[in-house]
Amino acid sequence: MYIPKSQIKSNLFTEGGEFARVDNNLSYKGHYYKTSKGKFYTGKTPEEGLNIELILEPSIALELPNFQSEGSDGNDSPYLNFIAGDYTYTTLKNVDTNQVKNIPQNIFPTPQPQDYINESFVRYFTKKRNAVKYLEIDKKTYDKLLSQDPTYLFELYRPLKLNWQVSGDKIKTYQTNENQTALLSRREKLEGFIEYFKGNFNQLYAQYTQGNTYVVANNGKSYTGFYHVMGDGQVMTGKSHTNKGINLVLRGDYVEQENPPLKQPTPTLNQETPLTVDEKNILIPSTTPPDLPPKQSYTQSPIVKQSSNSSY
Protein backbone atom coordinates (compact mmCIF):
# COMPACT_ATOMS: atom_id res chain seq x y z
CA MET A 1 0.00 0.00 0.00
CA TYR A 2 1.13 3.56 -0.56
CA ILE A 3 1.45 6.00 2.30
CA PRO A 4 3.30 9.31 1.96
CA LYS A 5 6.67 9.21 3.67
CA SER A 6 5.71 12.27 5.67
CA GLN A 7 2.92 10.20 7.30
CA ILE A 8 5.05 7.32 8.53
CA LYS A 9 7.96 6.61 10.82
CA SER A 10 9.91 3.77 9.26
CA ASN A 11 12.65 1.31 10.12
CA LEU A 12 11.51 0.68 13.72
CA PHE A 13 12.36 -2.59 15.46
CA THR A 14 10.91 -4.62 18.33
CA GLU A 15 12.49 -7.55 20.19
CA GLY A 16 9.04 -9.07 20.81
CA GLY A 17 6.54 -8.98 23.63
CA GLU A 18 5.13 -5.61 22.53
CA PHE A 19 3.05 -6.36 19.45
CA ALA A 20 0.94 -9.20 18.09
CA ARG A 21 -0.12 -9.82 14.49
CA VAL A 22 -3.81 -9.26 13.87
CA ASP A 23 -4.07 -12.20 11.46
CA ASN A 24 -2.89 -14.92 13.86
CA ASN A 25 -2.54 -13.23 17.30
CA LEU A 26 1.08 -14.37 17.54
CA SER A 27 3.72 -12.20 19.16
CA TYR A 28 5.76 -10.27 16.62
CA LYS A 29 9.52 -9.68 16.56
CA GLY A 30 11.16 -7.68 13.78
CA HIS A 31 10.98 -4.43 11.87
CA TYR A 32 7.83 -2.36 11.69
CA TYR A 33 6.67 1.12 10.86
CA LYS A 34 4.16 3.48 12.44
CA THR A 35 1.64 5.73 10.70
CA SER A 36 0.54 9.21 11.74
CA LYS A 37 -2.79 7.70 12.82
CA GLY A 38 -1.06 5.62 15.43
CA LYS A 39 -1.25 2.27 13.61
CA PHE A 40 1.60 -0.21 13.34
CA TYR A 41 2.52 -2.56 10.46
CA THR A 42 5.15 -5.20 9.78
CA GLY A 43 8.09 -4.25 7.56
CA LYS A 44 10.55 -1.37 7.57
CA THR A 45 8.41 0.59 5.11
CA PRO A 46 5.04 0.23 3.35
CA GLU A 47 6.88 -1.07 0.32
CA GLU A 48 8.46 -4.00 2.18
CA GLY A 49 6.67 -7.28 2.81
CA LEU A 50 2.97 -7.92 3.47
CA ASN A 51 2.47 -5.04 5.93
CA ILE A 52 0.42 -7.01 8.47
CA GLU A 53 -1.24 -4.77 11.03
CA LEU A 54 0.09 -5.06 14.58
CA ILE A 55 -1.78 -4.51 17.84
CA LEU A 56 -0.35 -3.68 21.23
CA GLU A 57 0.33 -6.52 23.64
CA PRO A 58 -1.15 -5.99 27.12
CA SER A 59 1.89 -7.52 28.80
CA ILE A 60 3.56 -4.11 28.59
CA ALA A 61 1.19 -2.98 31.34
CA LEU A 62 3.64 -4.13 34.00
CA GLU A 63 6.97 -3.43 32.32
CA LEU A 64 8.10 -0.70 29.95
CA PRO A 65 9.52 -2.11 26.70
CA ASN A 66 12.91 -1.24 25.34
CA PHE A 67 12.34 -0.84 21.66
CA GLN A 68 13.31 2.01 19.35
CA SER A 69 14.22 2.73 15.76
CA GLU A 70 17.74 2.22 14.53
CA GLY A 71 19.81 5.22 15.55
CA SER A 72 16.96 6.59 17.68
CA ASP A 73 17.41 8.09 21.13
CA GLY A 74 14.34 6.27 22.41
CA ASN A 75 11.86 9.12 22.06
CA ASP A 76 9.89 7.19 19.45
CA SER A 77 8.49 4.76 21.99
CA PRO A 78 4.67 5.07 22.15
CA TYR A 79 4.81 4.11 25.86
CA LEU A 80 6.73 7.10 27.21
CA ASN A 81 3.72 8.51 29.04
CA PHE A 82 2.44 5.16 30.30
CA ILE A 83 1.39 5.09 33.96
CA ALA A 84 2.18 1.73 35.57
CA GLY A 85 -0.91 -0.06 36.86
CA ASP A 86 -3.33 1.66 34.47
CA TYR A 87 -4.70 -1.22 32.41
CA THR A 88 -6.33 1.03 29.81
CA TYR A 89 -3.94 2.56 27.32
CA THR A 90 -5.32 6.08 27.57
CA THR A 91 -1.88 7.61 28.15
CA LEU A 92 -0.07 6.24 25.11
CA LYS A 93 1.78 8.79 23.09
CA ASN A 94 0.87 9.33 19.44
CA VAL A 95 -1.64 6.47 19.40
CA ASP A 96 -5.12 6.84 17.96
CA THR A 97 -7.61 6.57 20.83
CA ASN A 98 -9.74 4.32 18.65
CA GLN A 99 -6.99 1.74 19.03
CA VAL A 100 -7.02 1.88 22.83
CA LYS A 101 -8.63 -1.25 24.32
CA ASN A 102 -9.26 -2.65 27.76
CA ILE A 103 -7.41 -5.75 28.89
CA PRO A 104 -8.60 -8.28 31.52
CA GLN A 105 -7.77 -7.65 35.15
CA ASN A 106 -7.09 -10.43 37.62
CA ILE A 107 -9.62 -10.82 40.45
CA PHE A 108 -10.15 -13.19 43.39
CA PRO A 109 -13.73 -14.50 43.57
CA THR A 110 -15.95 -14.24 46.64
CA PRO A 111 -18.73 -16.84 46.66
CA GLN A 112 -22.01 -15.73 48.21
CA PRO A 113 -23.98 -17.66 50.88
CA GLN A 114 -26.38 -18.89 48.19
CA ASP A 115 -23.42 -20.40 46.33
CA TYR A 116 -22.58 -22.44 49.43
CA ILE A 117 -26.20 -23.50 49.75
CA ASN A 118 -26.07 -24.64 46.10
CA GLU A 119 -22.62 -26.15 46.84
CA SER A 120 -21.07 -24.71 43.65
CA PHE A 121 -20.65 -21.62 41.49
CA VAL A 122 -19.03 -20.65 38.18
CA ARG A 123 -15.51 -19.27 38.00
CA TYR A 124 -14.30 -17.31 34.97
CA PHE A 125 -10.79 -17.30 33.51
CA THR A 126 -8.94 -16.09 30.46
CA LYS A 127 -5.84 -17.42 28.72
CA LYS A 128 -3.46 -15.29 26.77
CA ARG A 129 -3.46 -16.77 23.28
CA ASN A 130 0.25 -16.47 22.63
CA ALA A 131 1.54 -17.43 26.08
CA VAL A 132 0.92 -19.86 28.95
CA LYS A 133 -0.67 -17.21 31.13
CA TYR A 134 -4.00 -17.38 32.97
CA LEU A 135 -6.03 -14.76 34.80
CA GLU A 136 -9.19 -15.13 36.84
CA ILE A 137 -11.75 -12.55 35.75
CA ASP A 138 -15.31 -11.53 36.60
CA LYS A 139 -18.39 -12.48 34.58
CA LYS A 140 -18.66 -9.03 33.01
CA THR A 141 -15.18 -9.28 31.51
CA TYR A 142 -15.86 -12.86 30.43
CA ASP A 143 -18.99 -11.75 28.55
CA LYS A 144 -17.08 -8.88 26.89
CA LEU A 145 -14.36 -11.23 25.63
CA LEU A 146 -16.84 -13.88 24.56
CA SER A 147 -18.91 -11.40 22.56
CA GLN A 148 -15.73 -9.87 21.10
CA ASP A 149 -16.58 -6.45 22.41
CA PRO A 150 -14.47 -3.94 20.41
CA THR A 151 -13.57 -2.03 23.58
CA TYR A 152 -11.68 -5.10 24.86
CA LEU A 153 -8.55 -6.73 23.51
CA PHE A 154 -10.41 -9.97 22.77
CA GLU A 155 -7.95 -10.82 19.99
CA LEU A 156 -5.32 -11.76 22.58
CA TYR A 157 -7.46 -13.25 25.35
CA ARG A 158 -9.49 -16.42 25.28
CA PRO A 159 -12.42 -16.63 27.75
CA LEU A 160 -12.98 -19.78 29.85
CA LYS A 161 -15.42 -20.83 32.55
CA LEU A 162 -15.30 -23.63 35.11
CA ASN A 163 -17.92 -24.98 37.51
CA TRP A 164 -16.40 -25.10 41.01
CA GLN A 165 -17.60 -26.98 44.09
CA VAL A 166 -17.37 -25.04 47.34
CA SER A 167 -19.34 -27.13 49.86
CA GLY A 168 -20.47 -30.64 50.73
CA ASP A 169 -18.21 -33.58 51.49
CA LYS A 170 -14.67 -32.18 51.54
CA ILE A 171 -12.94 -35.14 49.94
CA LYS A 172 -15.54 -35.43 47.16
CA THR A 173 -15.35 -31.67 46.60
CA TYR A 174 -11.60 -31.88 46.03
CA GLN A 175 -11.98 -34.80 43.62
CA THR A 176 -14.79 -33.10 41.69
CA ASN A 177 -12.84 -29.87 41.20
CA GLU A 178 -9.70 -31.73 40.18
CA ASN A 179 -11.64 -33.80 37.63
CA GLN A 180 -13.52 -30.80 36.22
CA THR A 181 -10.27 -28.87 35.81
CA ALA A 182 -8.56 -31.78 34.06
CA LEU A 183 -11.57 -32.25 31.77
CA LEU A 184 -11.62 -28.59 30.71
CA SER A 185 -7.85 -28.59 30.25
CA ARG A 186 -7.98 -31.67 28.04
CA ARG A 187 -11.00 -30.54 26.01
CA GLU A 188 -9.68 -27.03 25.34
CA LYS A 189 -6.01 -28.05 25.17
CA LEU A 190 -5.02 -25.65 27.95
CA GLU A 191 -1.33 -26.05 28.64
CA GLY A 192 -0.48 -25.39 32.29
CA PHE A 193 -4.08 -24.85 33.41
CA ILE A 194 -4.05 -27.67 35.98
CA GLU A 195 -0.76 -26.38 37.38
CA TYR A 196 -2.33 -22.91 37.74
CA PHE A 197 -4.23 -24.16 40.84
CA LYS A 198 -1.08 -25.58 42.52
CA GLY A 199 -3.01 -28.58 43.82
CA ASN A 200 -5.45 -26.47 45.84
CA PHE A 201 -8.71 -27.95 44.57
CA ASN A 202 -10.47 -27.20 47.85
CA GLN A 203 -9.92 -23.50 47.31
CA LEU A 204 -12.89 -21.43 48.64
CA TYR A 205 -14.30 -24.50 50.39
CA ALA A 206 -16.56 -23.91 53.41
CA GLN A 207 -19.69 -25.33 55.02
CA TYR A 208 -22.90 -23.34 55.47
CA THR A 209 -26.15 -24.01 57.27
CA GLN A 210 -29.47 -22.25 56.67
CA GLY A 211 -30.56 -22.61 60.28
CA ASN A 212 -32.41 -25.90 60.06
CA THR A 213 -29.53 -28.18 61.06
CA TYR A 214 -27.59 -26.80 64.01
CA VAL A 215 -28.42 -24.89 67.18
CA VAL A 216 -26.17 -23.11 69.66
CA ALA A 217 -25.18 -25.62 72.30
CA ASN A 218 -25.74 -23.44 75.35
CA ASN A 219 -29.12 -21.91 74.49
CA GLY A 220 -30.73 -23.94 71.70
CA LYS A 221 -31.08 -20.99 69.29
CA SER A 222 -31.02 -21.81 65.57
CA TYR A 223 -27.74 -20.99 63.84
CA THR A 224 -27.45 -19.69 60.27
CA GLY A 225 -24.00 -19.21 58.78
CA PHE A 226 -20.63 -20.85 58.19
CA TYR A 227 -19.37 -23.65 60.40
CA HIS A 228 -16.51 -26.13 60.63
CA VAL A 229 -15.93 -29.53 62.22
CA MET A 230 -13.04 -30.07 64.60
CA GLY A 231 -10.87 -33.18 64.64
CA ASP A 232 -12.82 -34.62 67.56
CA GLY A 233 -16.13 -34.15 65.74
CA GLN A 234 -17.18 -30.99 67.60
CA VAL A 235 -19.03 -28.56 65.31
CA MET A 236 -18.25 -24.86 65.76
CA THR A 237 -19.18 -21.56 64.16
CA GLY A 238 -16.98 -19.99 61.46
CA LYS A 239 -15.23 -21.21 58.31
CA SER A 240 -12.17 -22.19 60.33
CA HIS A 241 -11.20 -22.48 63.97
CA THR A 242 -10.68 -19.36 66.09
CA ASN A 243 -10.88 -18.73 69.81
CA LYS A 244 -14.19 -16.95 69.20
CA GLY A 245 -15.93 -20.03 67.85
CA ILE A 246 -19.15 -21.21 69.52
CA ASN A 247 -20.08 -24.87 69.96
CA LEU A 248 -23.00 -26.15 67.90
CA VAL A 249 -25.08 -29.31 68.17
CA LEU A 250 -27.55 -30.97 65.85
CA ARG A 251 -31.06 -29.73 66.41
CA GLY A 252 -32.26 -33.22 67.32
CA ASP A 253 -29.45 -33.70 69.86
CA TYR A 254 -30.13 -30.54 71.83
CA VAL A 255 -31.35 -31.15 75.39
CA GLU A 256 -32.67 -28.23 77.38
CA GLN A 257 -31.05 -27.87 80.77
CA GLU A 258 -33.48 -28.52 83.69
CA ASN A 259 -33.50 -26.42 86.85
CA PRO A 260 -30.97 -27.99 89.27
CA PRO A 261 -32.39 -29.37 92.62
CA LEU A 262 -32.07 -27.18 95.67
CA LYS A 263 -29.01 -28.00 97.70
CA GLN A 264 -29.74 -29.32 101.21
CA PRO A 265 -27.76 -27.78 104.08
CA THR A 266 -25.04 -29.95 105.53
CA PRO A 267 -25.49 -30.46 109.32
CA THR A 268 -22.67 -29.41 111.60
CA LEU A 269 -21.20 -31.57 114.34
CA ASN A 270 -23.18 -29.78 117.10
CA GLN A 271 -26.48 -29.84 115.25
CA GLU A 272 -28.89 -32.78 115.35
CA THR A 273 -30.73 -33.61 112.15
CA PRO A 274 -34.48 -33.87 112.92
CA LEU A 275 -36.01 -37.27 112.30
CA THR A 276 -38.63 -37.73 109.63
CA VAL A 277 -41.98 -39.36 110.42
CA ASP A 278 -40.84 -42.66 108.97
CA GLU A 279 -37.65 -42.58 110.92
CA LYS A 280 -39.55 -42.00 114.18
CA ASN A 281 -41.65 -45.15 113.67
CA ILE A 282 -38.65 -47.38 113.26
CA LEU A 283 -38.03 -49.59 116.33
CA ILE A 284 -34.45 -49.24 117.38
CA PRO A 285 -33.14 -52.33 119.28
CA SER A 286 -31.77 -51.76 122.79
CA THR A 287 -28.05 -51.80 123.21
CA THR A 288 -28.38 -53.04 126.90
CA PRO A 289 -27.22 -56.69 127.27
CA PRO A 290 -29.92 -59.14 128.52
CA ASP A 291 -30.02 -60.19 132.26
CA LEU A 292 -27.83 -63.10 133.11
CA PRO A 293 -29.39 -66.10 135.01
CA PRO A 294 -28.76 -66.13 138.80
CA LYS A 295 -25.66 -67.84 140.04
CA GLN A 296 -26.22 -71.30 141.63
CA SER A 297 -24.96 -71.69 145.27
CA TYR A 298 -23.37 -74.88 146.59
CA THR A 299 -23.02 -76.11 150.37
CA GLN A 300 -19.85 -77.98 151.18
CA SER A 301 -20.30 -81.15 153.41
CA PRO A 302 -18.12 -81.39 156.60
CA ILE A 303 -15.11 -83.56 156.43
CA VAL A 304 -15.03 -86.39 159.07
CA LYS A 305 -11.63 -87.23 160.37
CA GLN A 306 -11.14 -90.98 160.98
CA SER A 307 -9.35 -92.18 164.12
CA SER A 308 -6.28 -94.25 163.72
CA ASN A 309 -7.38 -96.48 166.72
CA SER A 310 -10.46 -97.77 165.20
CA SER A 311 -10.94 -101.53 165.50
CA TYR A 312 -11.89 -103.97 162.87
Does residue 279 carry a pLDDT above 90? no
Handedness of CA 229, 232, 233, 237 (dihedral sign): negative
Other CB atoms within a 10 A radius of the CB of residue 208 amount to: 20
Interval 56-85: pLDDT, tens: 775 443 333 333 333 333 333 333 333 333
> Residues near 264 by Cβ (< 8 Å), separated by ≥ 6?
none
Give the pLDDT of residue 2. 63
Transcribe the chain into DSSP letters.
Answer: ----GGGEEEEEEEEEEEEEETTT--EEEEEEEEETTS-EEESSSTTSS---EEEE-GGGGSS------TT--STT-TTTTPPTT--B-TT-TT--GGG--B----------HHHHHHTEEEEEEEEETTSS-EEEE-HHHHHHHHTT-TTB-TTTEEEEEEEEE-SS-HHHHHHHHHHHHHHHHHHHT-TTHHHHTTT-TTTT--EEE-SSSEEETTT--B--EEEEE-TTS-EEESSS--TT--EEEEGGG--PPPPPPPPPPPP-TT-PPPPPHHHHTSPPPP-SPPPPPPPPP--PPPPPPPPTT---
Q: Return the amino acid letter for 99.
A: Q
User: What is the average pLDDT score of the chain?
Assistant: 76
For the chain, which residues make up each domain, given as ranges? 5-94, 113-196, 207-253
On whether the CB atoms of residues 43 and 33 are closer than 8 A, the answer is yes
Query: What share of the chain in percent tops pLDDT 70?
Result: 67
Interval 104-139: pLDDT, tens: 988 989 899 999 999 999 999 999 988 899 999 999
- Per mean pLDDT, which range of 20-24, 117-121, 175-179, 281-285 is the poorest? 281-285
Q: pLDDT-derived band of residue 284, with 50, 70 and 90 as boundaries?
A: low
